[in-house]
Amino acid sequence: MLTIVDYGVGNLTSIQNMLKKGGSKSLISSDPAAIAESTKLLFPGMGHFDNCMKRINESGLLPIIHQKVFSEKIPLLGICVGLQMFMNSSEEGTEAGLGWINGKTIRFQKEKMKDELKIPNMGWLDVSAAKTSPLLEGLEDARFYFAHSFHVQPVDQSDILLTADYGYPFTVGVERGNIIGVQFHPEKSHRFGMKLLHNFANNY
């Protein structure tokens, strides 16, 4: 079963509905026993980095998530702040990140932008694949919906799965083994988001 981890943050029902439209069943749960039985995990995130980190730390779910991801090696997909939490730290707050991907989450650097672009970045962007992945099957010309002021900056370039350009190129997707994350919102990205979630549910 694909379980959407409920630690009090994220568009859980919207994600589940988009999975359903793509033909995939999922469970929304904050129950460690349900997570223990899962074959895939979806890790949402929304809002302020520190709030998300405090919520997951207080949820009591991290030990079972860690076991599933690092011992059993089941696939995990982080969305938006869920991806940002994979890093060691974030410029948005003072809480430590999960440290699952070596890197940090940084604010958009206006001084590097070629154009006068608004922050937060809210809207559709084309994405480019940095490597092949089962997640990207049939998404060669995809575009996705974004709503964010911060983005991840992995240390190891081989962790980068997807990039986009908003004044300058930046990372919008990572994949290291079974740990996968995207900055955009697939649940708001129409057919492209439905296909990506379908791929996660069926290709791993």
> Quick one: which of 77, 80, 76 has its CA closest to 48?
80
pLDDT by 10s per residue, the chain, length 204: 999 999 999 889 999 999 999 999 999 999 999 999 999 999 999 999 999 999 999 999 999 999 999 999 999 999 999 999 999 999 999 999 999 999 999 999 988 887 789 999 999 999 999 999 999 999 999 999 999 999 999 999 999 999 999 999 999 999 999 999 999 999 999 999 999 999 999 999
Distance CA 21, CA 72 (A): 28
CA-to-CA dists, residue 125 to 75, 82, 136, 162, angstroms: 26, 19, 16, 12
In the annotation, is 52 catalytic? no
51: which strand partners? Answer: none
In the annotation, is 198 catalytic? no
Which CATH superfamily groups domain 2-93+100-202?
Answer: Class I glutamine amidotransferase (GATase) domain (3.40.50.880)
CA-to-CA dists, residue 59 to 32, 65, 101, 165, angstroms: 10, 11, 21, 35
116 contacts: CB under 8 Å, gap ≥ 6: none
Whether residue 151 contacts residue 87, with contact meaning beta carbons closer than 8 Å, is answered with: no
Q: Mapping DSSP to helix (H, G, I), strand (E, B) and coil, where does residue 124 land?
A: strand
Radius of gyration (Cα) for the chain, nearest Å?
16
47 backbone φψ class: left, alpha, beta (φ>0; ψ -120 to 50): left
From the candidates 52, 92, 151, 185, give the one annotated as an active-site residue. 185
51 contacts: CB under 8 Å, gap ≥ 6: 9
Is 0.95 surpassed by the pTM of this model? yes
From the candidates 80, 92, 148, 175, give the one annotated as an active-site residue. 80
From the candidates 52, 151, 187, 198, give the one annotated as an active-site residue. 187
Length of the chain, in residues: 204
Per-residue confidence (pLDDT) for residue 55, from 0 to 100: 97
Distance CA 26, CA 28 (A): 7
Sequence ranges of the domains in the chain: 2-93+100-202
In the annotation, is 151 catalytic? no
